[in-house]
Amino acid sequence: MSDLPRTMNDTTDEQWREKLTPEEYAVLRQGGTERPFVGEYTDTETAGTYRCRACGATLFTSKEKFHSHCGWPSFHAPEDAENVTLLEDRSMGMVRTEVRCANCDSHLGHVFRGEGYPTPTDERFCINSISMTLEPADEN
């Protein structure tokens, strides 16, 4: 999606509300979390590219996805580290690392480290399904 602007931080709150459903807005723009085990991509094994639902930027691919059984889609790394921004999150009485889209600054989920999953990075990017769209890979 090379026609995307480098940043969408100048999009107004009113424009986001028009573009997103109330549920998408609550997660992407207000930092909410969808309920576990209800997301569209929690268990999908479709090959393809996961994009930010707000701006279309590439976030993850099915190559990085793994089954963590935590209730949300899990990835061991982003497709490109520059596509996400990691921020310290001290909400809810704990210290976590929030994952945001580097292009539009939308909330995606959190990343957890050192949980012992057999992945190349020992990281689990726990991402809300509602914050992404899946573009299936060409099967040609």
Q: What is the set of active-site residues?
A: 126
CB neighbourhood size of 58 (10 A): 18
How far is it, in rounded angstroms, from Cα 119 to Cα 104? 28
Does residue 7 sit in helix, strand or coil? coil
Residues 6+ apart with CB under 8 A from 99: 84, 85, 86, 107, 108, 109, 110, 111, 125, 127
Identity (one letter) of the amino acid at 102?
A
